């Protein structure tokens, strides 16, 4: 016998409200796991691209481009970067 509990609208809203915090925690854990595995991780800090290494060193690689604000319904063009994107 399977009894399924239906969530109330209030419970659903509460769970949906936790999504940003859960996503931020997962992103942070992925960052830390990548560093622990010895990988180099690229992040944006302010207006700079920063390379972080497992030994704790950080190197500013360059300037980041400003984020693009897009209105609802506005079409944008996306360009592939590098030759491996075609593989």
For the stretch 39-84, pLDDT in tens is: 999 999 988 999 999 999 999 999 988 777 778 888 878 777 775 5
Is residue 1 assigned to a domain? no
What is the chain's alpha carbon radius of gyration, rounded to the nearest angstrom?
20
Is residue 57 assigned to a domain? yes
The strand order across the sheet containing 48-52 reads: 41-45, 48-52, 58-63
Instruction: Indicate whether 7 pLDDT > 70.
Output: yes
Is residue 17 assigned to a domain? yes
Global pTM value: 0.62
The DSSP bridge partners found for residue 45 are 48
Res 16: pLDDT: 95
Is residue 52 assigned to a domain? yes
Is residue 28 assigned to a domain? yes
Q: How many residues does the chain have?
A: 87
Domain count, the chain: 1
Is residue 75 assigned to a domain? no
Residue 48 lies in domain? 9-65
pLDDT band (50, 70, 90) for residue 1: low
């Amino acid at each position: 016998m399977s009894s399924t509990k239906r969530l109330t609208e209030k419970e659903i809203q509460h769970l949906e409200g936790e999504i940003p915090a859960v996503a931020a925690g997962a992103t942070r854990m992925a960052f830390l796991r990548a560093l622990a595995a010895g990988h180099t991780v690229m992040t944006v800090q302010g207006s700079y691209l920063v390379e972080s290494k497992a030994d704790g060193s950080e190197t500013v690689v360059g300037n980041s481009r400003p984020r693009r604000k897009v209105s609802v319904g506005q079409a944008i063009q996306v360009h592939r970067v590098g030759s491996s994107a075609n593989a």
